[in-house]
Amino acid sequence: MHFDFDAGKYAIYVWPAFALTAGAFVWMIADSLASARRWRREAERLQALRDAQSKGGRAKGGKS
Amino acid sequence: MGARDPHHPLDFLTNPERFMAFSRWAAPMFGVLAAILAAIGLVLTFAAPEDYQQGDTVRMMFIHVPAASLSLFVYLCLGIASFLALVFRHALADAAAVACAPLGAGFTALALVTGSLWGKPMWGTWWVWDARLTSVLVLLLFYLGYLALRSALEDEQKAARAAAILALVGLINLPIVKFSVEWWNSLHQGSSTLLAKPGNGLPAVYAWPMLVMSLAYLSAFGSLWLVRIRALVWRRKARALALQAAES
């Protein structure tokens, strides 16, 4: 298989097109993963807080 | 109200818990598939011969056409999800619509920019106000309008309803984009893939990289769409928990 990476006089159009496509995909992937990670952590943190509060509440109720 | 059938075939798309279980494996699976297809597609792209008329610029077709196809497909998904959210008030459908929009805007912007970079050496101009290019620009404005409307209104329900109506109105633009090259005189060529007229289809040496890259883009969209919907489900859960914490 022969690969042709020499775009000749069209290189100034071809390579920026590929570079911008790669950049757009990097942005879409990074933004999607960062958003998912952020909200997952936030939901887990609040869930843990809620679990701890309800545990504390039950323990108090048990003592009285 | 009747009991919900737990074995409904689409339950994994309508029940948030089942959706999270499904998307947990489906999102990375589509992501890996996209990476493999993109690697094969790039090999085929740079192994394809120069076109006798367009020279090396023909390689831009393999990144431009899939982006343009996805810009339409993603908007169709946005329209369907908006319809389901508007009519059935389904939270997951609304999340699916919101998750679509930035990805669709990204694919549309890519289609416009790569098309412009391809147009300059082939047509002698970066931009022309013809039907295809202008209708794709209008498509990008619908995506941006949807996103702006979602973030402009404080009341999330009102924002969702207004944006869903805008998304449904924008569906009118899809056939205009698709058939613009047939309805009006255009610098842009007609279809050379699925709806190609006899004699206008791509030869196999260009059709294969096009097919593989199109499937790579589609898989990437599938993966990112699921990841973004998951983010919105967690956001909803976090907000509900924060509200409960504030009330208690």
Q: Does B26 touch chain A (CB under 8 A)?
A: no
| Pairs across A and B, CB distance < 8 A | 108
HEC string of chain B equals CCCCCCCCCCHHHHCHHHHHHHHHHHHHHHHHHHHHHHHHHHHHHHHCCCECCCEHHHHHHHHHHHHHHHHHHHHHHHHHHHHHHHHHCCHHHHHHHHHHHHHHHHHHHHHHHHHHHHHHHHHCCCCCCCHHHHHHHHHHHHHHHHHHHHHHCCCHHHHHHHHHHHHHHHCCHHHHHHHHHHHCCCCCCCCCCCCCCCCCCCCHHHHHHHHHHHHHHHHHHHHHHHHHHHHHHHHHHHHHHHHHHHHC
Supply the pLDDT for residue B63.
97
B230 closest CB neighbour out of A1, A27, A36: A36
Across B196-215, b (16+ Cβ under 10 Å) vs e yields eeeeeebeeebebbbbbbbb
- Hey, are the CB atoms on A33 and B103 less than 8 Å from each other? no
Q: Does B126 touch chain A (CB under 8 A)?
A: no
Supply the pLDDT for residue B1.
38
Supply the pLDDT for residue B194.
59
Q: Which residues of B touch A32 (CB under 8 A)?
A: 103, 224, 227-228, 231
pLDDT class of A60 with cuts at 50, 70, 90: low
Q: Which residues of A touch B230 (CB under 8 A)?
A: 36, 40
CA-to-CA dists, residue B160 to A31, B82, B151, B184, B237, angstroms: 22, 9, 10, 35, 18
- Hey, are the CB atoms on B234 and A43 less than 8 Å from each other? yes
- Hey, are the CB atoms on B118 and A35 less than 8 Å from each other? no
Supply the pLDDT for residue B73.
97
B224 closest CB neighbour out of A6, A10, A32: A32
Q: Does A52 touch chain B (CB under 8 A)?
A: no
- Taking only the tens place, the pLDDT of each residue in A2-55 is 888 888 899 999 999 999 999 999 999 999 999 999 999 999 999 998 888 877
Supply the pLDDT for residue A23.
97
From the candidates A21, A27, A45, A47, which should be mutated to test the interface with B, based on the most B CB atoms within 10 A? A21
Q: What is the pLDDT along chain B (248 residues), one digit of tens a residue?
A: 344 555 566 666 678 888 999 999 999 999 999 999 999 999 999 999 888 888 889 999 999 999 999 999 999 999 999 999 999 888 899 999 999 999 999 999 999 999 999 999 999 999 999 999 999 999 999 999 999 999 998 898 999 999 999 999 999 999 999 998 888 877 787 766 656 666 677 888 899 999 999 999 999 999 999 999 999 999 999 999 998 888 87
Supply the pLDDT for residue B8.
64
Q: Which residues of B touch A10 (CB under 8 A)?
A: 55-57, 121
Q: Does ipTM exceed 0.85?
A: yes
Q: Does B44 touch chain A (CB under 8 A)?
A: no
Q: Could you tell me which chain B residue has the CA closest to the CA of A35?
A: B231
Give the distance from residue A40's alpha carbon to the nearest chain B alpha carbon, in angstroms. 5
